[in-house]
Every structure is written in C-alpha cells, then in structure tokens.
Amino acid sequence: MPDRTWSPVFLAADVPLPVGAYSPAVHAGDFLYVSGQVPRDPRTGEMIGATVEAQAAQVIANLREVLAAAGAKLEDVVSATIYLANEDDWSAVNEIWKSTFEAPYPSRTTVGAQLRGFLIEISVVAYKPQRRANYGFG
C-alpha cells in the first residue's frame, strides 16, 4: 500500500466492497470525506424508492452508516454536495435537509446532474477531531 497521510474507512463485513475504484470514505487528519451515497441498499445493491423523498431517506441512512463506521455522526458534517437528477426537486430536498440537520446547517452545494437512474446522490465532509493524547500539559 502506498505511503499516504490519509486512511480509508471500510464498512461492516456484510457490506460488499465498492465495485468502483474508490473508498466509501477516507480520514485525512481531522476530516472525514464520504464518497457520494446513492439510494441503494448497501448490502443487497437494490435501489430504494421511486420518489426523491424516499431516495433521499435511503441516501441519508447510507451516510449515517458510513459516518458511523468512521466513528462520526451526521452532527459532524460540515459540508455537503447534493446532486439532483431534477433540479425542480430542490425544495423537497431542502425540507428533508431541514428535518435532518439542525441550524446552523452545514455548508451545502446543490447541482443538477445525470445520475444513471437515481434521483439524488449526496457526498459529505465531516469534522471529527482525532483523539489526542493528554500528556498533562493543559
């Protein structure tokens, strides 16, 4: 393995590895970068939901699982990028966002994209300081 200053995060043993050449998330210092999550059941690969609301619920559940594997929570998210197949779904997704996160909200960018049959994909960055040893200096 190459000498890197970041480390990959892996999910539970019952979750297959990604098909593509990427990690579900990586730790880099005190930050956690989570790859784009889509509305698929991580264990079966089955697409979940026919509406943007149902798909967003699955995407958020997937984000929670990846964050938990890295010892983080949704409350640690500082930035997100939301990709929408239909830009007109912005208002519905904004309502879901407001019910998922508390103010002050993480920074966010929402863009229209071709998503290969999905209505939504979300990637996030979380801030999760690594535990540092306390050597009695304060």
Please tell me the total number of residues recorded for the chain in this structure. Answer: 138
Q: What is the DSSP string of 31-50?
A: EEEEEEE-SB-TTT--B--S
Unique residue bearing structure tokens 């103010």: 103
Q: Which two tokens stand for residue 64?
A: 């929670």
In percent, how much of the chain has pLDDT > 90? 81
Q: What is the dihedral of CA 72, 76, 78, 82, to 10 degrees?
A: 60
Q: Has residue 76 been placed in a domain?
A: yes
- pTM summary value: 0.90
Residue 19 has pLDDT above 60, yes or no: yes
Residue-range definition of the domain harbouring residue 66? 6-127
Q: Has residue 93 been placed in a domain?
A: yes
d(CA 128, CA 126): 6
Residue 54 has pLDDT above 70, yes or no: yes
- Mean pLDDT estimate for the chain: 92
Confidence at residue 1, expressed as pLDDT on a 0 to 100 scale: 56
The mean pLDDT value for 125-130 works out to 92
Confidence at residue 131, expressed as pLDDT on a 0 to 100 scale: 65
| Confidence bin at 12 (pLDDT 50/70/90) | confident
Q: Has residue 138 been placed in a domain?
A: no
Q: Has residue 81 been placed in a domain?
A: yes
Q: Which two tokens stand for residue 96?
A: 């879901």
The mean pLDDT value for 62-83 works out to 97
At 39, which CATH number? 3.30.1330.40
Q: Has residue 82 been placed in a domain?
A: yes
**How many domains is the chain built from?**
1
Q: Has residue 134 been placed in a domain?
A: no
Q: Has residue 28 been placed in a domain?
A: yes
Q: Has residue 39 been placed in a domain?
A: yes
